[in-house]
Structure 1
Amino acid sequence: MDWGQIFNSTAGWLFSPTTIAYALAATGLAVHFGYAGLLNFGMAGFMAIGAYGYAISILTFGLPWWAAMFVSILGAVVFALILGIPTLRLRADYLAIVTIAAAEIVRLLFTTQVFDEYTNSADGLSGYHQGFRDANPFPEGTYGFGPWTYNQNELWVRVFGVILLAIAVLAVWLLMRSPWGRVLKGIREDEDAVRALGKNVFSFKMQALIIGGIMGALGGVVFALPSAVVPATYTTSLTFFIWTILLLGGAATVFGPALGALIFWVIMAFLDNVLPAMAAVGWLPMTPIQAGTLRFILVGVALMLLVAFRPQGILGNKRELTFVK
């Protein structure tokens, strides 16, 4: 086994657009679940709306890339309103079921041939990168060292994604230190008590759904920046990965989602490289393809152990989470 190649390939995921996009989406989910107590299993829908809103705005309507980002944000707000108005009064388990269904409806709408003129149905969208690349402040060339070597476009995507993630983390930090954030955490703990104090619980939940949804949509934009928008990406497994990341880093934490995304994708990349290599040299009684699938089983078992023994996550405080009291 070539351990040097394995570690180089794994290290490349530290600053990958995928890692940054999932960190953004997990930060939005932290607002939903960690702070507001909303059991949202539809984050894949927000990411899909962000990615498609960005791509369609450029390809179909000829908007500049920065205006397309505002369209993605607007799409997330509209989706949050459509999703939240009839569902935010539901109990947590019912809300989870509805949000899963809503995300699947969004994915199927982008897949259907009815809107093929705009979405290209199952084939997805590409060719919307030029405007973003024209705004690249880095001169043409190669940057970095070792496994972190990028051309100017790859570096620009990563720098832009990190800037968006930093803004999202700062926004969550400021919001949760404000009176608004304290009310939100009060709703998570006991919404009847907050309602008794004269606060509009539904309004606060809706605001949290919108803010977290915007972060998820921006994660979808970053996810789509390097390559293409493919509807098969935005399945329920994407949402479950985001939940794993959130629980790993800490649900009611500011920096937990970013740390969780970093650890999750580094581990996934390492297992994706090392398990097939171990099978190829006979260390595992299976084919390399089977060994590649084994990583999902190992990550699933690790998530079960995490929830059982450290449900607050790496950075979390056990007292912050109602479901572990």
Structure 2
Amino acid sequence: MRLSNYLHSQLAISFFPIFLGLFFITSVVFLVKIASLTSVITMTSFELLKLYIYSIPQVVFYTLPISFFMSLAICLSKLSSEYELVVITSYGLNPLNIIKILFPVTAFLTIFLLIISLGLIPKTKYLTKSFSEIKKKEANFNIKESEFGQKFGDWLIYINKKNENIYKEVTLFKSEKNSENFIVSDEALLENDKNHLSFKLINGKVFAIDDNELSQIDYSSMYINDSITNTDIEAFDTSYNFWKRALKHNKDIDDFSFYILSSIFPLISLFLVIVFGYFNPRYEKNRAVVYSVLTVVIYYVFIKYIGERLLLHSLYIIPTIWIMFSYIIYSKTTKKEY
């Protein structure tokens, strides 16, 4: 129990500096990406913060497995360089016992990553895309007061006064093949209801003119939605239903595979952690960082290249190959020595 607590405390010392450093760097990349949207749409500081909060699950997902794997290897290599693993081994604890101690926290991390990648990321991506589309449509709906020739969808529109999203003395006109439609309104509001824009007209009249008659309708309120309702983004209810639909229609399968394979990376690489962490400081140099970085690059290139071709089959082929490869290296190196 004391050894387990000690290993976990040493792991924490290695993990948090690496994770926070990678988290900061990745956050800067996402913030630059978010800031680039301001060239297309106007956003307040609160809205920029809102978009960054939506990106946090992705930042955590991309940094957590890499930083945890590297911290495992660095933690054990540090213990090796200080001869502490030699002492631990002399008490009868071989590398497999160390793996058993590290397995629960690594399994918990894997479950946490799966929740983030398969549960939170699809939802936050949907919220980000919906928010951006709404802001773009609001930007397109930049009707200026007392100007002719402005359009709202298929309608020509004229407003006398404007105060943010409130419009006074609004006039709309649309000409079709055999009829003309004319709408006047005392007031109009641009509303955003659950990421759907609508134009609400208050207290006015509708005139429909064709070849034979003139019709008039008085109204207290009327909504115009078709011209600005967002139809490009699929409705999102739950992450489970999202992936169910995606797999059924063979959509986003490469993302699904990538999320799972990235989440289980630390778990299926425990043998490599032992290989990189165990060494004799008298005869060998500490190369845990170099080996860890190289392993991360190889693994992510591997799952990206193979995952896009094998799709769902990669979920059992890649982990099997990786575990076998890791165990073979472990058997030919650390297992012989310890």
Q: Which has the larger radius of gyration?
A: 2
Relative to total residues, which structure has the larger helix share, 1 or 2?
1
Relative to total residues, which structure has the larger strand share, 1 or 2?
2
Ranked by relative contact order (alpha carbons within 8 Å, sequence separation 6 or more), the top structure is 1
